[in-house]
Amino acid sequence: MDETTAESKSAALYARALQVLPGGVSRNTVLRKPHPLYVDHASGFRVTDIEGVDRIDFANNMASLIHGHAHRAIIEAVTEQLSKGTAFTLATEVEIRYAEHLTQRNDGFEKIRFVNSGTEAVMASVKASRAFTGRSKIAKVEGAYHGVYDYAEVSQTSNPGNWGSAADPVGVPVAYGTPSAVLSDVVVIPFNDPELAVAILDEHLGELACVLIDLMPHRVGLSPADPAFVSALREWTESDGSLLVFDEVITFRSQYGGAQNWYAERPDLTAMGKVIGGGFPAGAIAGRSDVMDVMDPLAENVLFPHSGTFSANPITMTAGLAAMTLFDAEAVEQVNALATRAIEGITEAITATGATACVTGGGSMFRVHLKARPPRNYREAYADAQETARRAALVEYLLDRGFIMINTCSATISTPMGVEEIDALVDAVADGLERYATA
């Protein structure tokens, strides 16, 4: 199955793309050697590329498609709305209906505002925190990805050569030219180490607007946060007068009301995205009424004026409402059970093959690491050049076997999937581990 020859349709498309797009793409995640694959069509859990190759999709557009591709109910709802219009300088009822739906999924969502992406939701959460507290600094977990906002991306790609000591992590920029003032306004804390995290935070009492955390950060290893870690941050922020912000852009799919349902604590604000768009670009910020009201344009003193041309556009609202209505408690349980089956199956395969590997995850997502033990933080999850190359080879092998994975060898489950698809992936991973993760 080799569609990567110079004569392929994909190669020809990529040659054109290189002339008009930096690197030939608009997002780096679709890059692969010698060129990206280009989609012809998709349905359910299957994607067919322009060479006619059919694969099972465990990437689901970076965890954003909970119902897979071209779900009939979503298509029908969106098609009906398309005939009425796509965006207006007027309000729509569907925005209200969708807000009502999302707020009833989580008792901590007292009010909500819609934006256009997960990145934008995190940006709005940080800015709302600053407006509410009157403080400028934020704290975030080392290695955690929160989108492309300067402040939220600090130390997202740090490495052993620049990350400093564990007790005093260095704020490392991602993009060249990041202002030094950004780095001085971001406090970096370790994941799942409550004592060390609190010790670092204590050095900034009264300075922080918020502590921003992802409850199961993908790049930090896709392991759920320890309850003790979440509790420590909740206690610290309440004592300090700062806010606790959860980034549930990826993890909201994990439970009916988000991954925060795993914990006793509730954040002040939650940023969401991905699955809530029903396949369209979407984001939302939800939380306490008094905090959300910093965006209230009817207030005498508007602390955070907020708007956006395509925020709450009726196409996204219609698709999102259709998708999340379908993603009820029973559907959540269904996909989570399939992920558990996959994790257990891969763990058994690791034992059977003697591979140096482990698997982490929660909810409807999991990740295969070519490490002996599950990483607990970013420094343990960090992969050197050799491990990165072996992982890339494993992902490429799975692609050749007919499975699309996220490039970290992570997978997400969609509702059209069943036991057959899970077991087929487990078998392929077992074969791949024998090739790339055994002595």
pLDDT, tens digit (0-9, with 9 covering 90-100), for 103-155: 999 999 999 999 999 999 999 999 999 999 999 999 999 999 999 999 999 99
So what CATH class is 37-66+328-436? alpha beta
Structure tokens at 6: 């110079």
pTM of the entire predicted model: 0.96
pLDDT at 439: 67
Q: Is the dihedral of CA 391, 396, 400, 402 positive or negative?
A: positive
Distance CA 296, CA 47 (A): 43
Percent of the chain with pLDDT over 90: 97
pLDDT for residue 4 is more than 50 = no
pLDDT at 1: 43
Distance CA 304, CA 295 (A): 5
pLDDT at 293: 98
Pick from 326, 322, 316, 325: nearest CA to 92: 316
Query: In the chain, which segments carry CATH 3.40.640.10?
Result: 72-326
- The catalytic residues are 145, 247, 274
Query: In the chain, which segments carry CATH 3.90.1150.10?
Result: 37-66+328-436
Domain 72-326: give its CATH code: 3.40.640.10
pLDDT at 3: 47
Three-state SS string over 184-252 comes to HCEEEECCCCHHHHHHHHHCCCCCEEEEEECCCCCCCCCCCCCHHHHHHHHHHHHHHCCEEEEECCCHH
pLDDT, tens digit (0-9, with 9 covering 90-100), for 30-73: 999 999 999 999 999 999 999 999 999 999 999 999 999 999 99
Q: What confidence tier does 438 reach under pLDDT thresholds 50, 70, 90? A: confident
pLDDT, tens digit (0-9, with 9 covering 90-100), for 149-180: 999 999 999 999 999 999 999 999 999 999 99
Mean pLDDT of the region 285-311: 97
Distance CA 174, CA 214 (A): 18
pLDDT, tens digit (0-9, with 9 covering 90-100), for 182-214: 999 999 999 999 999 999 999 999 999 999 999
Distance CA 371, CA 385 (A): 14
